[in-house]
Amino acid sequence: MPFLSPVELILIALVVMLGIGLAALLLARGGGSKTDALETGFERLVAQQSELTGRLQSMAEAQSLAQNALTATLNERLDQVSTRMGVSLEESSVKTVESLTTLAERLAIIDQAQKNITELSSQVVGLQDILSNRQARGAFGEVQLQDIVTSALPPSAYAFQATLAGQVRVDCLVHLPNPPGSIAIDAKFPLDAYHALRNAKDDAERTVAQRQFRGDLLKHVKDISEKYIVPGETAESALMFLPSEAVYAELHANFPDVVTKSYAARVWIVSPTTLMATLNTVRAVLKDVEMRKQAGEIQKYVGLMLQDVTRLDGRVANLEKHFQMAEKDIRDIRTSADSIAKRGDKIQDVELGEGDAPIAAIGTPRIERDLLT
């Protein structure tokens, strides 16, 4: 049976009451036989009304029970939903806290990286300021040269700002024995011409920049060849140090004529990498020279050691003689012991007779003979 809402129940009750009112009105207007019929109809109507009232009451009770069951089910479902929502909200809260913590850590890392980038930017700006000034750029090349030399060679193998003949100062002088002699190293940094070459917008600007780059490098080669190659004081060649690998690569890639002319002038152009390799070779040469210097001392101590070996051989020979004499004495002692043992055996082999007389007459000479032998 479908459930009736309270509004429907009220409508049904109004219809019943309207029916009762109409019946009463008809009774009031009619008379005679109609009265009996109306009374009978009224009684039926009252009976139907009672039946309808009972049904309505039953329906109301059923509706109430259904509403209670529905309310209980809804409450149970709402409780379950509330529990699930609470658990879900708690898990979401935990995950949100973890995500926020991770986000805060990453933001801290990003903030630190941003600070590092800012510091690096300031350092790059400072480096650009240094490199934009010719004197500061030269000092930068000298500092880099000093770092490489000090890390590759012992302190006694080089001198910075050494003075050559004619009161000429060289950035670094590597001390090597003759030949080849001390090698001069001078730092040069043609950065302006290189930047002009890199920033050229057309062929005309590139041609001008190439001419400037070639001219600067050839001038440096000429100055080093004339100033830092001194006969009798330095080696027959010198090194020009370029502090930039990019400038060195540009030179060897696009200016082979400059490299050839530097070879002819006995000026070897090196970069930080090739300078380190060159200095490692120099260190090996210095080590070999030092070993040769110590060769005399080594020979001296080898001679003394041979003398010690000779004395040891003589002492071993003397000890061998003592052992031989001791061995002879032992052999003599062994011979005497064997003789004594033999005589003892002979004494035991003497057959004793009965009485004293035969012993005195016969045995005595035999014993004496045995002792004498």
Lowest mean pLDDT among 261-265, 266-270, 320-324: 320-324
Number of domains in the chain: 3
List the 267-270 sheet strands across, edge first. 158-164, 168-174, 183-187, 238-241, 267-270
User: Peptide bond preceding 180: is omega within 30 degrees of 0, i.e. cis?
Assistant: yes
Is residue 43 located within the same domain as residue 74? yes
| Nearby residues of 247 by Cβ (< 8 Å), 6 or more positions away | 189, 190, 191, 194, 271
Q: Read off the pLDDT of residues 271-298 as tens digits, 9 standing for 90 and up.
A: 888 888 888 888 888 887 777 777 777 8
Q: Read off the pLDDT of residues 342-353 as tens digits, 9 standing for 90 and up.
A: 887 778 776 544
Is residue 316 located within the same domain as residue 355? yes
Residue 163 lies in a domain: yes
Is residue 85 located within the same domain as residue 52? yes
Residue 185 lies in a domain: yes
Residue 210 lies in a domain: yes
Residue 128 lies in a domain: no
CA atoms within 13 A on the CB side of 51: 6
Residue 20: its pLDDT value, please?
65
Residue 187's pLDDT band, with cuts at 50, 70 and 90, is confident
| Nearby residues of 284 by Cβ (< 8 Å), 6 or more positions away | none
Is residue 278 located within the same domain as residue 304? no
Is residue 168 located within the same domain as residue 277? yes
User: How do strand 238-241 and strand 183-187 relate by DSSP bridges?
Assistant: parallel
Q: How many CB atoms lie within 10 A of CB 215?
A: 13
- Rg, C-alpha atoms of the chain: 64
DSSP letter for 350, please.
Answer: P
Q: Read off the pLDDT of residues 219-250 as tens digits, 9 standing for 90 and up.
A: 989 988 888 888 888 888 899 998 888 888 88
Domain boundary among 258, 293, 328: 293
Domain boundary among 293, 318, 342: 293
**pTM listed for this prediction:** 0.46
Is residue 202 located within the same domain as residue 219? yes
Residue span of the structural domain in which 208 resides: 148-293
Residue 17 lies in a domain: yes
Residue 127: its pLDDT value, please?
46
Domain boundary among 244, 273, 293: 293
Residue 127 lies in a domain: no
Is residue 306 located within the same domain as residue 282? no
Q: Which CATH number belongs to the domain containing residue 205 in this structure? A: 3.40.1350
End-to-end CA distance of the chain: 158
